[in-house]
Structure 1
Amino acid sequence: MSRPTTVYLGVPRSQPDGPAGWQRVLHNDAFAAGYSEWRGGAAWVAYRATPRPPGARGLARPDRFEHDWRTLRCLTIVACVRHEDYTGSGYDRGHLAPNHLIATRYGRKAQHQTFLMSNIVPQRPALNRGVWQRLEAAEDALSNRFGPLWVFTGPIYDARPAYLPGFKLIALPSAFYKILVREDSAGGAPRMLAFAVPQDVEGGEDLRRFLVSVADVQRWTGLDFFHQLPDAVEARVEARIDTSSWGF
């Protein structure tokens, strides 16, 4: 079976010396990840959130997360990011490509790939189990309401980030972004909805508090999304915070 297309309107571009650094693109069955060896986590993850099939149910979670031998950190056995590196750190192993959505759309093998450490970033428990979980649920609901969505998600770092305790140099994000995109049914410009959620949330905040523009996300991450759009269209849709098209 061929792998589904996961990246919409071009693989995100970045400057090697920018905040995201150089990325190695890792392709999985249901998502792609732009992995930053420098940061010890993905700068972006991209996937397609299709409507939930009738009767689809979540699958049991694997017992542990697995290191990803495709990363240079693991290939060279230097600072390979492993399950144990997060243990006792005070941070959750936060999914970028979400376990539940990938499991219900793409099956068990794809779900297990979301437990690769290349898909994991440090998230404080109040974020991971609160706002981020609700944002993933909203993404699930919006894909059922509007049809297939294209999603980009990842971390935002300070200029000089702190690091997870230990010697692996796993950078701690200050915030996280999620960009939802759907194609216009009339053939117009794509509709975009973007969020940026700080690491230090309490967990129960209204999701609308975190709405931003795609241009904001690009400025904070140094990534260039959707560069295959005509320049004028790209500038216009990325500058908007378009809640009316989403009923949000």
Structure 2
Amino acid sequence: MLKWWIAIMMVMATLLLWQQPWRQDAVAATKVTAAMVDSLTAVATPAGMANVHVGYDAFSVDFNPTAHRPNCTAYVLTREHLNGTVARHDQFTADDRVTGCPPPNAYRGSGLARGHMVPAADMAWNETAMAQTFFMTNVCPQSSALNSGGWSKLEEKVREWVARDSVLVVLAGPVPSATDSVLPSSNVVVPGRFFKVVIAPTARPRMRAIGFIYDNGPCNRPLRHYAVSVDRVEELTGLDFFKVLPPQVEATVERACNLPAWCF
């Protein structure tokens, strides 16, 4: 009888331990507020990386005045934004407020496209936001094959995801490397690769995130071939994402690359 009583008490103690908050799924239990979603756009740049933070109406740019290109761009995309009807602006311009911002003809003769980091199509819900995506602070020299191919397909996939998940935070930029080339006419540094990071903070049953790395050239394989964890993007870029999240949640979200959860 005593043995049975001890066994019952041990089972009850185990159940009580698992009911403690620190034993619950910390990611699923995280309360996501509008303020938290906005703060997920914040990015920490590594020491030694030239950086100026520039805020626009609907997105932000961490701009590198030495490389004359963004380090990272960030914005919140909602399902409602997909209903925008603003026509594409198509007028690239320098942001004269920002030191190091190149002129709109900086890539002339290079054969490279002016590649948006924040897509113009994602800002079709507001005329000012649409126009601001054409500031050269939001642009990188990009292979035309990538710009109209794999990169464009990824942008379309993000819009599919937000239609399902309601809210996404999207970050994108170049992957810096010592082997990056420089345009001699403008001193703009041409990246060899690009990244995109997407987090679905209100997804159920728990928030999730994913990263992508693309070479600056033809990338025509299915999306899943370019998918990586956010940890991998941080390792390659030196950037630090999602510091607003509790450490355990941040670690869990950033190390995952759960393709089925993103419906690949």
Which residue in the other structure is 1:172 paired with? 190
Cα separation, 2, equivalents of 1:111 and 1:232: 37
Provide closer, same or farther for how the CA distance between residues 110 and 54 of structure 1 changes in structure 2, counting only shifts above 3 A.
closer
Cα separation, 2, equivalents of 1:173 and 1:50: 29
Provide closer, same or farther for how the CA distance between residues 14 and 115 of structure 1 changes in structure 2, counting only shifts above 3 A.
same
Counterpart selection for 1:66 from 70, 87, 93: 93
Which is higher, the Rg of structure 1 or of structure 2?
2
1:24 and 2:52 aligned = yes
Alignment of 1:75-90 (within 5 A): 80-90=101-111
Cα separation, 2, equivalents of 1:37 and 1:217: 22
Contact 1:7 1:32 in 2 (8 A): no
1:183 and 2:201 aligned = yes
- In structure 1, give the amino acid aligned to 2:175: I
Counterpart selection for 1:155 from 174, 179, 186: 174
* Unaligned residue ranges in structure 2 (runs of 5+): 1-34
Percent identical: 30
Contact 1:26 1:70 in 2 (8 A): no
Which residue in the other structure is 1:15 paired with? 46
> What's the Cα RMSD here?
2.1
Provide closer, same or farther for how the CA distance between residues 108 and 192 of structure 1 changes in structure 2, counting only shifts above 3 A.
same
Which residue in the other structure is 1:145 paired with? 164
Which residue in the other structure is 1:194 paired with? 211
Which residue in the other structure is 1:98 paired with? 119
Larger % of helix: which? 2
Counterpart selection for 1:50 from 78, 86, 90: 78
Deviation per CA, 1:2-47, whole angstroms, max 9, x where unpaired?
A: xx99854362112232xxx131111111100000112111111000
Provide closer, same or farther for how the CA distance between residues 114 and 10 of structure 1 changes in structure 2, counting only shifts above 3 A.
closer
Counterpart selection for 2:63 from 32, 35, 39: 35
Which residue in the other structure is 1:120 paired with? 139
- In structure 2, give the amino acid aligned to 1:13: A
Compute the displacement of 1:159 (Å).
2.1
Cα separation, 1, equivalents of 2:246 and 2:178: 31
Provide closer, same or farther for how the CA distance between residues 13 and 112 of structure 1 changes in structure 2, counting only shifts above 3 A.
same
Provide closer, same or farther for how the CA distance between residues 245 and 184 of structure 1 changes in structure 2, counting only shifts above 3 A.
farther
Cα separation, 2, equivalents of 1:137 and 1:10: 20
Q: TM-score, normalised by structure 1?
A: 0.86
Provide closer, same or farther for how the CA distance between residues 231 and 53 of structure 1 changes in structure 2, counting only shifts above 3 A.
closer
How many pairs are equivalent?
A: 230
Contact 1:39 1:170 in 2 (8 A): yes
Alignment of 1:124-135 (within 5 A): 124-135=143-154
Provide closer, same or farther for how the CA distance between residues 40 and 5 of structure 1 changes in structure 2, counting only shifts above 3 A.
farther
Deviation per CA, 1:73-99, whole angstroms, max 9, x where unpaired?
A: 2xxxxxx50111112211000000101
* Unaligned residue ranges in structure 1 (runs of 5+): 74-79
- In structure 1, give the amino acid aligned to 2:97: R
Cα separation, 2, equivalents of 1:16 and 1:137: 34
1:214 and 2:230 aligned = yes
Contact 1:6 1:32 in 2 (8 A): no
Provide closer, same or farther for how the CA distance between residues 53 and 47 of structure 1 changes in structure 2, counting only shifts above 3 A.
closer
Provide closer, same or farther for how the CA distance between residues 6 and 32 of structure 1 changes in structure 2, counting only shifts above 3 A.
farther
Contact 2:41 2:171 in 1 (8 A): no
